[in-house]
Structure 1
Amino acid sequence: MINVVLLGAGNVATHLFKAFTNTEAVTVKQWYNRNLKTIAEYKNKVAITDNLEDLVEADIYILAVSDDAIADLSEKLPFTNRLVVHTSGSVSLYAIDKKHKRGVFYPLQTFSKGASVDFSKVPLCIEAHKVKEDFSILKELAEAIGSQPHKVNSDQRAALHLAAVFVNNFTNQIYRIAHEITESEGAEFDILKPLIQETARKLDDLSPFLAQTGPAKRNDKKTIKKHLNALTNAHHKDVYELLTQSIQKTHSPFVNPKAKPNK
């Protein structure tokens, strides 16, 4: 049995709490947040507190807080030499105060409070500072909620977080632009959803390089010009041109004669 104290009440903290309480291998002994109202609805399921001095002893203390709060909160914890981890993708392991045994428990996924999360499909990037036993318990914690643990250092995690912004945040903004384009002519955005799903599914079998299709890759100047003329929103046009140039730089022999597939 792994005993956990959870600190923070954002999307990640909320989903982790639900995942932990759904397995007999983990016990959430306490949930801390500086504003008790945020977690008051859970008071019948777990002990809650807004006082750091009241924190109980546990195997792992998980700081599921904003990036800027990690260093300050870890420094304020009223104990030493216990395993304290954060859940950030972009913050170094060393942001945690050195008086603690330090680690990272980063679920690489997008979290929204209104959407359920299947942790069996969430990669968990874990890191521990020197102590082999700390890494083992983080690995065990990840497996307890059905996740696949991955040993990832701080530099690798930062690269993954940056890449995640491209594949998630930026991609979602592209969906928003597509939604605006379809709305402008009264077309149904939902008709595009099978294409969105198939585009993602292809990556199970192909690299992004080999999966690329479309007029930019084919250097279909006639279609590209037609699309640009159809775009009445200047911002949408800028995005179209930038992404077209990026694809051509990667694939077009006219732009990049040495373009090669990424294995």
Structure 2
Amino acid sequence: MISVSILGAGNVATHLYKAFEKAENITVNQWYNRSLRAITSYKTKVNITDDLNTLRESDIYILAVSDDAVAELSRQLPFENRLVLHTSGSVNVHDLDKKNRRGVLYPIQSFSKTSEIDFSQVPVCIETLHKPDYHLVKQLAVSMGSPTKKVNSDQRRSLHLAAVFVNNFTNQLYRIGHEITEAHGAEFELLKPLILETAKKVQTVSPYMAQTGPAKRGDAKTIKSHLKQLNKKQYREIYKLLTSSIQETHGSGPLRQLHSEE
């Protein structure tokens, strides 16, 4: 049985707690947050605390907090030589205080408190500074049902950066698309099969091979029409930037013509 203490109460912490609770050989020893209000609803299921000095001994301590808080919280821990992990995609493992054994448990997924997460579909990236700790962290991830991958800090940071492009930026494009359809009384719902098909396609072919659309075709007439339809300068700039990127990748049109369109 692996004993775990969770520190933090955000989306990642909440979903990890739920996954640990379901796992047969993981026990959540304690849940810490500086404000008990965020975790009070769990007090009948797990010991909760807002005092670092009352932290119980566990096999693993997971700092599921904001990137900016990782280093300071790790310095405040009132013990030494225990295994402490953070869950960030961009924070270096060396940012954790060296008084403890250090590692990273980075699940590549977008976490919202209102969405259920199937951890069997969530790759977990693992990094540890002490080789023996790797096997324990991998056992923890496997117990959640997650596929695992051993990565270093540079690889993890590149994955996090790529995740911002494929998830956060893509979601913002969905929001712009939603605004465009709503402004003209069209239904965004009609685009959802296209969204799903696009995501499905890159499961079997590369994004390069999956690319379609007027930018790849070099369809200047359609591009010009789209730019005229967009009534916000910011959206026109986004359209032009992405179109230029596609054309540069696929060699499908003169970039100077695109930049002259308003």
Query: Normalising to structure 2: TM-score of the pair?
Result: 0.95
Amino acid aligned to 2:93: L
Q: Which residue of 2 aligns with 1:195?
A: 194
* Alpha-carbon distance in structure 1 between the residues aligned to 2:56 and 2:250: 57
Q: Which residue of 2 aligns with 1:171?
A: 170
C-alpha contact 2:63 2:86 (8 A) present in aligned 1: yes
Q: Which residue of 1 aligns with 2:121?
A: 121
* Alpha-carbon distance in structure 2 between the residues aligned to 1:243 and 1:77: 45
C-alpha contact 1:6 1:28 (8 A) present in aligned 2: yes
Structure 1: which 4+ aligned runs deviate by more than 6 Å? none
* Alpha-carbon distance in structure 2 between the residues aligned to 1:254 and 1:45: 60
The answer to whether the aligner puts 1:80 opposite 2:80 as a matched pair is: yes
CA deviation after TM superposition for structure 1 residue 222, in Å = 1.0
Gaps of 5+ in 1: 257-263
C-alpha contact 1:218 1:252 (8 A) present in aligned 2: no
Q: Which residue of 1 aligns with 2:64?
A: 64
Alpha-carbon RMSD across the aligned residues, in angstroms, is 1.1
* Alpha-carbon distance in structure 1 between the residues aligned to 2:131 and 2:206: 34
Q: Which residue of 2 aligns with 1:183?
A: 182
CA deviation after TM superposition for structure 1 residue 229, in Å = 1.5
CA deviation after TM superposition for structure 1 residue 9, in Å = 0.4
Query: What's the secondary structure of 2:202's corresponding residue?
Result: helix
Q: Which residue of 2 aligns with 1:7?
A: 7
Amino acid aligned to 2:201: K
The total of aligned residue pairs comes to 255
CA deviation after TM superposition for structure 1 residue 232, in Å = 1.7
Q: Which residue of 1 aligns with 2:260?
A: none
Query: What's the secondary structure of 1:236's corresponding residue?
Result: helix
What are the residue-to-residue correspondences of 1:1-263 with 2, within 5 Å? 1-129=1-129, 131-252=130-251, 254=253
C-alpha contact 2:215 2:252 (8 A) present in aligned 1: no
Amino acid aligned to 2:218: N
Amino acid aligned to 2:177: A
CA deviation after TM superposition for structure 1 residue 84, in Å = 0.3
* Alpha-carbon distance in structure 2 between the residues aligned to 1:33 and 1:229: 51
* Alpha-carbon distance in structure 2 between the residues aligned to 1:42 and 1:55: 17
Query: What's the secondary structure of 2:125's corresponding residue?
Result: strand
Q: Which residue of 2 aligns with 1:260?
A: none
Query: Normalising to structure 1: TM-score of the pair?
Result: 0.95
Amino acid aligned to 2:14: T
C-alpha contact 2:216 2:252 (8 A) present in aligned 1: no
Cα distance per residue 1:57-79 (max 9 Å; x no partner): 11100000111111111111111
CA deviation after TM superposition for structure 1 residue 150, in Å = 0.7
* Alpha-carbon distance in structure 1 between the residues aligned to 2:144 and 2:102: 21
CA deviation after TM superposition for structure 1 residue 233, in Å = 2.0
Gaps of 5+ in 2: 256-262
CA deviation after TM superposition for structure 1 residue 253, in Å = 5.0
Cα distance per residue 1:161-199 (max 9 Å; x no partner): 111110011000000110011011100001000000000
C-alpha contact 2:107 2:124 (8 A) present in aligned 1: yes
